[in-house]
Amino acid sequence: MELTFNNKANVLSAQLLTTHDHSPIYVITTETSLWGRTYTYLRDVNPAFHAGSLQPQRHNRNANSASGKKGGAKKGKGGAEAIGEKAQSQAYQTSLSPPSYRVGRHQGTIVGMINWKNKTMDVGGQRRKLVEVRRKEGGGWGVGLMQWSKEKVKGLGMCFGLAEKEKKAVNEGEVVEQENAWETKEKHRWSASTDNTEGDALGGADNDGTRDFWARRKRRLWQWASDRTEYCIEHEDEGWRISTTTSPRRTTGIFIVPYRPKLFGPMRPVTLKLTREALVKDEVFLILALVYEETMRGDRNVSL
């Protein structure tokens, strides 16, 4: 599934449109107060239902207005209300007109919500705190540092509780062997990440988890419940990448948010792509998670 936002880079107030006919599927609205954001709502919009429900209102309004002027029967002549020919033709043309995909801010069913004050998230009527569904990868600083490979620790000349013999410089042959092994590993990682395998329509498998410590600190793990899939959301360049945490790690979605201004041509809209694997149970949850992460990233950039 591929969706685009119709409000440039504002993810807090926009309609999520399909790419094939630009019809809205979801509507995101945000309420604010004097002290900042309060609630962000995600509404499910059914174009066929809402477009059809708007037409009878127009039909009744035109019919009533026409019947009251020329088409309606006067008192004392027939004793009954009748709709004139003009009102009937207008109502018939209105029923044949193509449905309008424009929806209001408060139309649709609320399927998700973020409470910014209490730091909670609602999905499908269930409410959980953000600390229960969102955490950092690697735990604390000590755990993240110890996850570094021994090769990187040797190359930087650092010591994190390693034996004294491991801190000594290796000979020239071992250095060449390590460099060759590292190049082979990097080539394999990049070839795996660019390989478009079956079941992964967004860029192939993720890397094998050998990124440096600072990249790990930017990752956020989201899991709605213990029986649901855990996702890793990481910011890369002009967007976010969603991948599963189980081995083998696969990319299940990307969220492109262009922020660099362009001199010529329009900017690309905010685009969301999700695979079928992510659409089964966690579609609403992932949309809210991406909106939260992008909003927090924008707040950090403004504070700097």
Determine the structural domain holding residue 84 and report its residue range. 48-102
Residue 3 belongs to some domain of the structure: no
In-domain check, residue 92 = yes
Contact 45, 32 (CB under 8 A): no
Residue 256 C-beta-side C-alpha neighbours within 13 Å: 14
**How would you write the pLDDT of the chain (304 residues) with one tens digit per residue?**
889 898 877 899 999 998 888 888 999 999 999 989 999 999 998 644 443 333 333 344 444 444 444 444 444 444 444 445 554 444 434 333 334 445 555 678 899 999 999 999 999 889 999 999 999 876 544 433 434 444 444 444 444 444 444 444 445 555 556 556 655 654 554 444 434 433 444 444 444 444 455 555 678 999 999 999 999 999 987 789 999 988 778 899 999 988 766 667 677 888 999 988 888 889 999 999 999 999 999 888 876 5
Q: Which residue has tokens 């649709």? A: 108
| 74 domain-assigned | yes
What domain count does the chain have?
1
What's the CA angle centered on 245, arms 244 and 249, to 5 degrees?
Answer: 65
Q: CB neighbours (10 Å) of residue 65?
A: 13
Buried b (16+ CB within 10 A) or exposed e, 90-125: bbeebeeeeeebebeeebbeebbbbbbeeebbbbee
Is 184 within a domain? no
Q: What is the pTM of this model?
A: 0.60
Distance (Å, rounded) from C-alpha 196 to C-alpha 198? 7
Q: Does a structural domain hold residue 286? A: no
CB 253 within 8 A of CB 203: no
Residue 176, C-beta contacts closer than 8 angstroms, at least 6 positions apart: none
